């Protein structure tokens, strides 16, 4: 969960030089990890922790997938 407290890049496990395709791929990986019913984290995180992780992943994705918002963020 510590990664989820970092930058949008850290949340998605990316470098700032990541391409838009890499952002999409990273988001899909995170969704599989933290998404509704994900078995990988079901027993490791409390429901509230999962909700916060999904919120953080979604926020990072919304910023990094949009070129203008990403430019402002950077």
pLDDT in tens, 32-65: 888 776 665 656 777 788 888 899 999 999 999 9
For position 53, what pLDDT does the model report?
A: 87
| Element of type H or E holding 28 | helix 20-34
Q: Rounded to two decimals, what is the model's pTM?
A: 0.83
Please indicate whether residue 34 or residue 3 has the higher confidence score (pLDDT). 34
The number of residues making up the chain comes to 74
SS percent in the chain: helix, strand, coil, step 5: 75, 0, 25
Question: In terms of pLDDT, which residue wins out, 15 or 39?
Answer: 15
Other Cβ atoms within 10 Å of 10 Cβ, number: 14
Angstrom distances, CA of residue 34 to CA of 1, 9, 19? 11, 16, 22
């Amino acid at each position: 969960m510590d990664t989820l407290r970092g930058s949008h890049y850290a949340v998605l496990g990316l470098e700032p030089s990541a391409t838009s395709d890499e952002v999409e791929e990273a988001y899909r990986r995170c969704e599989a990890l933290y998404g509704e019913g994900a078995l990988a984290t079901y027993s490791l995180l409390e429901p509230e922790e999962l909700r916060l992780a999904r919120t953080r992943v979604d926020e990072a994705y919304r910023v990094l997938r949009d070129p203008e918002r990403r430019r402002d963020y950077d």
